[in-house]
Amino acid sequence: MKKVVIATIGALALSSILTACSWETESKSVDEEVVNEKQKHTPEDDPNAVSKEEEAKIKRMEKGILVYGEGTKGGLYLTTVNTAYSEKNIPKDGNTNPNLYTVVVSVKIDNVSDSGKIANLSELRFNLNDPKTDKNFDGRLLPDRNPMTSSLEPNKSLTLDVSFEVPTIEDKYMFSIESEADPIIDKWEVTNLNKFDQ
C-alpha cells in the first residue's frame, strides 16, 4: 500500500510538472501569435491610416501653402500654378542690373464667375517672396510671353508667365497673387529651380 501511495504521489507530481510546462509553452505560443499578428498588420492594411506624405500635405494645406499643379478657387478666379523655371539674365550694353536671374512662374487663371462677370486681369498683382531674407519681388507680365488681352470671359482660362528678377536663385520661394476683386489667400511653393553655378 505504501508503494501505491508513493507511486500515486510521484505520478501526480510528474503530471503537475508536465502540465505546468506545457501550459507555459502553450501560453508563449499564443503570445507569440498575437505579436506576429500585430507585426503582420501594417498601416497600409488600415483604410483609415494616413501616410506620412499625406499627413505632410494636409499640414501644408492647412497653412494655405500649395505646390505645382494645385489650385485655389474663389468667387471669380480659379488659380493654379503649373510650374516655374529660372533663367540667367544676359547683360545688355552696359546695363548694371543687380538681378542676375529671372524666375518665371506659369500660372493658369480660370474665370469661374457664376454671375457671368468678365474678369479684369490687369488688377492682379504677383509677388515672389524669399522666405530666408523675407524680401519680396514684384512680378511682371512680359508682352512677348503673354496674351495681349486683360479681360477674361466667364468659363474661359488663360495661362500667364509671370517674370521676377532676382539676385540669386534660392531653394524655395513663395508665390502669391493679390486681387481686390477676389482675394486669394493661398500661396504656392516655388522649388526645384536651376541654380546656374552661382
Coil, strand, or helix at residue 192? coil
Q: How many CA atoms lie within 13 A of 62 on its CB side?
A: 6
3-state class (DSSP) for residue 40: helix
Q: Closest by alpha carbon to 191, among 140, 136, 128?
A: 128
- Whole-structure pTM value: 0.71
Contact 139, 160 (CB under 8 A): no
Sheet (strand 135-138) strand order: 65-66, 187-191, 172-178, 125-130, 135-138
Decide if pLDDT at 38 tops 60: no
Give the range among 32-36, 150-154, 155-159, 183-187 with minimum mean pLDDT. 32-36
- Mean pLDDT of all residues in 55-60: 86
User: 84: which strand partners?
Assistant: 105
Task: Determine the number of helices (DSSP H) and then strands (DSSP E) in the chain.
Answer: 2, 12
In the predicted model, what is the mean pLDDT of the chain? 83
* The pLDDT of residue 174: 97
- Name the most confidently modeled range: 17-26, 46-55, 80-89: 80-89
Cα–Cα distances in angstroms (integers) from residue 155 to residues 73, 76, 102, in the given order: 13, 10, 31
d(CA 86, CA 83): 11
pLDDT band per the 50, 70, 90 thresholds, residue 27:
very low
Q: In terms of residues, how long is the chain?
A: 198
pLDDT exceeds cutoff 70 at 185:
yes
Give residue 178's identity as a one-letter amino acid code.
E
Instruction: Give the integer Cα–Cα distance in Å for 145 and 164.
Output: 13
